């Protein structure tokens, strides 16, 4: 039932070959050698970085901004296009944000806006220095949270490759990808402690043709969270944990959310996370649609909820729990998923009573409970299509009247 998803367009492949070939004749704009900054962790990189970007962006030939090895302080930078030719950033050093959250008045630290034919690489580190922010970032302190910056933001970026970059200890999301097209994130490292609150690894929405490949994500919230308007995406070879797993959603909280469709998540390992492969929508609230979502070849290690559809998603019990979700879910598959569950309820399908889940497939599932009890599978408002070996037996346990809230 899962169609073949041809996610990487041939035109994008040709583009990447073009960018790689252009490196030989690329103009280099070194922020130290040409723009006078110092890698001393004290001098603000913001102006030299922006000046180098502006010159490179104005070049009619392919160009590269170079940030050499060393440690740099960066207060904030907004890097805007369109540029006249393909542009690269070679980040070799460690770039640090101000540790004090009060230094930020909006949720931006490093932002790329309206850029086409772009590549960032080099093995460098974006260090958000978020430990002070973690202490104050609570669900009650919304005004404080609204000003916390994302480490790296890609808005309206087209035809891009982000490769071999580390995001560390972001104050809010590590990487936010919005309204982008044909962008690949490959061999990324994302690092934050398990207790870091609301710190998604990669969050995205309203985009098409995105690939997240061969990346290691350790954080305090969803390793990857997929928002509305996302379509035609591949996620593969991800190691996730700690964190909250790989999630579609949450969806249905806001008006006029666009459909999520054609997502394939495969060959991933999820370890010691609160959830594994998850789709989450709010009860009540607003409508939406999720279709053609396919989780395949995934290993779960000690995950409390390895496979979860939660249409009663209600963190902190702040929602219309007495109402049904208005988001329609269809054509969803979980195939060749194996490993261990930290709780007996290894599979939970909690679907909407007013719009039951349609065409949900389970195939070749082998998830064992780490404890003495056997693993179980709970179903509400769904009749899964099954094939292959299945452990636990589908729908072998009832859903409690009040399901436990998932983070």
> Which residue is catalytic, options 244, 286, 294, 369?
244
C-alpha separations of 51 from 63, 80, 197 in Å: 14, 12, 34
Residues 6+ apart with CB under 8 A from 392: 346, 347, 365, 367, 374, 375, 376, 377
Cβ(135)–Cβ(101) under 8 Å? no
List residues bridging with 166 in a β-sheet: 125, 189
Contact 116, 87 (CB under 8 A): no
Round to whole Å and give the CA distance between 121 and 160. Answer: 11
End-to-end CA distance of the chain: 30
Active site includes 244?
Answer: yes
Radius of gyration in angstroms for the set of CA atoms belonging to the chain, rounded to a whole number = 22
Closest CA relative to residue 191, chosen from 180, 202, 182:
202
Helix (H, G, I), strand (E, B) or coil at 52: helix
Token readout for 303 is 């995950």
Token pair in block for residue 323:
């109402």
From residue 80, how far is each of 53, 77, 107, 112, 115 by CA, in Å? 9, 10, 16, 6, 7
Question: In the beta sheet, which residues pair with residue 236?
Answer: 213, 266
**Which sequence positions are flagged as catalytic?**
244
């Amino acid at each position: 039932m899962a169609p073949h998803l041809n996610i990487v367009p041939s035109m994008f492949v040709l583009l990447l070959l073009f960018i790689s070939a252009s490196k030989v004749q690329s103009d280099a704009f070194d922020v130290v050698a040409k723009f006078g900054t110092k890698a001393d962790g004290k001098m603000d990189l913001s102006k030299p970085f922006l000046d180098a970007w502006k010159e490179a962006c104005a070049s009619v030939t392919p160009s590269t901004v170079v940030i050499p090895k060393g440690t740099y302080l960066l207060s904030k930078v907004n890097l805007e296009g369109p540029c006249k030719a393909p542009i690269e950033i070679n980040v070799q050093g460690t770039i640090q944000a101000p540790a004090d959250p009060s230094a930020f008045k909006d949720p931006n630290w490093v932002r790329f806006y309206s850029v086409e034919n772009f590549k960032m690489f080099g093995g460098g580190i974006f260090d958000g220095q978020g430990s002070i922010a973690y202490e104050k970032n609570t669900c009650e302190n919304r005004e404080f949270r609204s000003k916390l910056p994302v480490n790296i933001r890609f808005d309206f970026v087209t035809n891009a490759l982000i490769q071999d970059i580390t995001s560390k200890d972001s104050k809010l999301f590590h990487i936010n990808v919005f309204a982008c097209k044909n962008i690949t994130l490959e061999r990324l490292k994302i690092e934050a402690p398990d207790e870091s609150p609301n710190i998604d690894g990669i969050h995205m929405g309203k985009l098409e043709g995105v690939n997240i490949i061969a990346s290691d994500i350790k954080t305090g919230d969803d390793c990857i969270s997929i928002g509305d308007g996302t379509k035609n995406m591949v996620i593969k070879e991800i190691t996730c944990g700690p964190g909250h797993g790989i999630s579609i959603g949450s969806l249905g909280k806001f008006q006029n959310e666009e459909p999520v469709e054609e997502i394939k998540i495969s060959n991933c390992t999820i370890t010691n996370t609160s959830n594994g492969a998850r789709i989450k929508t709010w009860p009540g609230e607003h409508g939406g649609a999720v279709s053609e979502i396919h989780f395949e070849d995934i290993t779960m290690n000690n995950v409390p909820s390895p496979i979860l559809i939660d249409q009663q998603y209600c963190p902190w019990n702040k929602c219309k729990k007495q109402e049904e979700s208005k988001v329609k879910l269809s054509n969803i598959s979980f195939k060749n998923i194996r490993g261990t569950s930290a709780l007996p309820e290894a599979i939970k399908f909690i679907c909407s009573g007013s719009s039951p889940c349609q065409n949900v497939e389970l195939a070749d599932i082998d998830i064992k409970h780490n404890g003495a009890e056997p693993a179980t599978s709970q179903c509400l408002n769904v009749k899964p299509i099954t094939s292959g070996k299945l452990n636990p037996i589908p729908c072998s346990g009832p859903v409690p009247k009040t399901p436990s809230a998932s983070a």
